Amino acid sequence: MRVRRTFCFLDLCGFTSFTDEHGDQQAVAVLGHLRAVLRAEAENHGVRVTKWLGDGAMLSGVDAEPVIRCAALVRDVLQTDGRLALRGGICEGKVIMFEGDDYIGAAVNVAARLCTKAIPGQLLLTGGTAPSVPGDLSPVALGALAVPGVSQPIEVLALDPGPLRVTRATSAVRPQV
């Protein structure tokens, strides 16, 4: 069954090196902080944490705006009180819903690949999601980028870190390192 969803992949930057330098206990604390902040914001915005991916996550939502806002808030909280920067990729489109809890399709793949192209603190999103960007966020057009596995270049926007926009739920979550 095909459904329209928005997908976001988030990734902690430099996690492997951090683990090597600071040890397993601090690495687990950093992951715990990411997960606590992300769970709170996902719940606040009606966004689903579809999969945990080691030092990152895959999010999905029916509407793009809550997914974008959730990702930006989590990024901003980690920018302020986390140990590592977060980067992400966001794409909206029709995909196959597989076995009721998994998604297969270009939108998923594009979001994942944009995440790998983002620099620390940056969220990259496809041009098609631009109308859903919340008004208080200021996307910057990067132009068309080649994305592996996609035949045509994709218009991409960047949401770089800006003024902190923290909700009450995340402001109470502090790192345990």
Q: What is the mean pLDDT of residues 101-113?
A: 93
Q: Which CATH number fits domain 2-171: 3.30.70.1230, 3.40.50.620, 3.40.50.11610, 3.30.1330.40?
A: 3.30.70.1230
Q: Is pLDDT of 33 > 70?
A: yes
Predicted confidence at residue 168, as pLDDT, reads: 35
Residue predicted with more confidence, 168 or 3: 3
Q: What is the pLDDT of residues 148-173, one digit of tens each?
A: 888 899 999 999 886 544 443 333 33
Predicted confidence at residue 41, as pLDDT, reads: 96
Q: What is the mean pLDDT of residues 93-113?
A: 93
Q: What is the mean pLDDT of residues 108-136?
A: 94
Q: What is the mean pLDDT of residues 22-42?
A: 96
Predicted confidence at residue 176, as pLDDT, reads: 34
Predicted confidence at residue 151, as pLDDT, reads: 87
| Radius of gyration, CA atoms only, the chain | 15
Q: What is the pLDDT of residues 39-92, one digit of tens each?
A: 999 999 999 999 999 999 999 999 999 999 999 999 999 988 878 999 999 999
Predicted confidence at residue 163, as pLDDT, reads: 53
Average pLDDT score over the chain: 89
Domain residue spans of the chain? 2-171
